[in-house]
Each structure stands twice: as C-alpha cells, then as structure tokens.
Amino acid sequence: MPPFRAPRVDATAMRSSRAPPLPAEACADHRRAVPVHAKALDLITVETALATDPSLLCIIYTYGKNHPAAKVATETWLPYCDGALVLSDVNDTDVRAVAVPHEGPEEYQNIWQKTRANWRYVSEYYLDDFDYFVFGGDDMFVLADNLKRYLASPEVDDRNARGDPLFLGRRFKQNNNWDRLFNSGGAGYVLNRPALKLLYDSFDHPDCQPHLKGFWEDVMVAQCLRKRSGGNLLPYDTRDLAGRERFHPFTPGQHLTYRARPDSRDWYVRYSIDLKQGPECCSTQSVAYHYIKPDLMRHMDALLFRCPRASIEKPRRPP
C-alpha cells in the first residue's frame, strides 16, 4: 500500500456530547410522527452497558455532500460508543470528519476501495485501542449499549477470549449459496481485534482483489476473510435464542410490516436465512438498523434513548 497521510484523531471526543432527556410532550410528538417505527421500537429492550463490557469503536463512512446526514449521527447514536469515527473524502471539523484517501474516484461504484482505505486507517491507528469495531454507512443506526451487552455474552466473549477472530452482523446467502455467506454492509458488521488484523494483513493479497472497483464491499470483506482464513472465518450467527435477528438491513417499521409472498422472488427472501416476519422479525436485543434518514434518526434517538421507556406498554413476547 502507498504511504498513508490521513491524521489520527481523538476517537473518544464524541462521548461527552449525548443529548439530554426530553419532556413528555416532545416524546409524544416523536411517537405521533413515526407511529409504525415507534411500534417496532417498542419491542426492543434498551440495555445499559457495564463498565466490564468490551470496548467498541463505531465507524461510519460518508462523503462531503452527505455531511449533514453524518452530522445527525454524531448528534444521536454515535456518542454512545466508546469511540467514534466519521471517515469521508474531505475534512470537516463540524462533523469531526477525517478525509481518508483511497484508490480511484469517490463514487458508489468504488466503495470497495473506500472500504479498504477506511479499514486500513482504523487498523493503523486504533487496532490496539478497542476490542470491537462496527462499520457502516452514514444511514446506519446502532444501539451501542445493546451491542456491547451482546458482545459481552458468554457465547461471544468466550470465543473472543480464546483469541478467535469474529465477524458478526446480519448473515446473507449470496444468491442463495451457503458457500457464499456474507454480512450485510447496510446493517453494519462487527470485527474483533484478531479479525481486523487478519483483514488488514490480507488487503494486498490477490484473494482480496486489492484493485477491484465495485460497490459490493460487504461481499468482498467476507470473501477476503473467508479465503485468507482457509475457510474458517465465516459470518457468525447473531440471532437470539428465538431465532430473531439482531442486525437489520432496513428500517424498524419496514421489518415489522414486511410480508413475503409465497412465490416471492424478492432478493431479501432469497438471501435471508430462516426469515421471520411480523413482530418476530426482530430480537428484543436488536442492535442495528439501515436506511435511517436524518429525520427518522432523530425520532429513533428520542424514542430509544431520550424518552422514558418505562412509560411504554410493550406487547407481550414469548420467552
């Protein structure tokens, strides 16, 4: 790789910028504005991370024209992470964005090169500072405390303690092929330190197609990790004990209301594994959503983090 020029920044700078609680009237306004999303969010238990939980660096990628959307992320969910980075093509102190150069043009069709450069930046500056790293676009929304509590669960923590590389997210089967599992990039995916080191050390290997121009960066990350681990590092099953997903590639309301037709050729049906629908779509310990526009991001921030959860009468769920 060529010499790297992007500067290191303080990844913990956002931790002190959490918004205060909202009054009851404002909370009611948020619920009325997005009733279907609010109903979906009512199914979630918002947890509080413990001091003993693993540390989490949250990374979003963006570009200059979309900095207003990225700024909303910095004002809502990003401050709940132990560390947070906004990686872009231009520096912007208002968003705390760092310009990270990459091979080729700044465009959707070249996200693989943008992803390679961004993970390289994270690896060279922060690999030893955090236990886990979650990565996604500026329209991702992460419940950081829920994610940290999941990462601290015995099923995950035991493997991490052994030094096993871990690759977590929403598993998809590429073209319904079990030999081509990948984690959806939209919902964000998580690497622990050994997995990130493997990815970083492998980026220039031909198996990882270092000069490819393409938008399917999530498929490429999975391919790189799979091939460079000898087929041992595959997307981890992150569903809860009831088979409900924790990482969601769409908005809360879309997941709650989605119904697949019996003859559906929808890619989401073909790519999903044991897809559940309706209220069973989503774990009560859900951790991430995708396609969250700025207005919805503010509503979600209010309903999940700034309004009293105890005042919400939740539907009963099976144990």
Q: How far is CA 53 from CA 17, 168, 291, in A?
A: 21, 17, 28
Rounded distance between C-alpha atoms, residue 195 and residue 26, angstroms: 42
Model confidence, pTM: 0.95
Q: How far is CA 279 from CA 38, 41, 300, in A?
A: 13, 10, 18
Domain chopping of the chain, boundaries? 19-307
Q: Where are the beta strands (DSSP E) in the chain?
A: 56-61, 83-88, 97-99, 132-137, 141-142, 167-168, 171-173, 181-183, 189-192, 288-289
How wide is the angle at C-alpha 308 spanned by C-alphas 282 and 294, nearest 5°? 60
**pLDDT level of residue 319 (50, 70, 90 thresholds):** very low
Q: Is the pLDDT of residue 85 over 90?
A: yes
Q: Which tens digits make up the pLDDT trace of 9-50? A: 999 999 977 889 999 999 999 999 999 999 999 999 999 999
SS3 category, 175: helix
- The percentage of the chain sitting over the pLDDT mark of 70, rounded to a whole number, equals 96
Q: Which tens digits make up the pLDDT trace of 289-311? A: 999 999 999 999 999 999 998 54
**pLDDT at position 3, please?**
55
Which residues, at least 6 apart from 114, have a Cβ–Cβ distance to it below 8 Å? 61, 100, 102, 106, 217
Class of domain 19-307: alpha beta
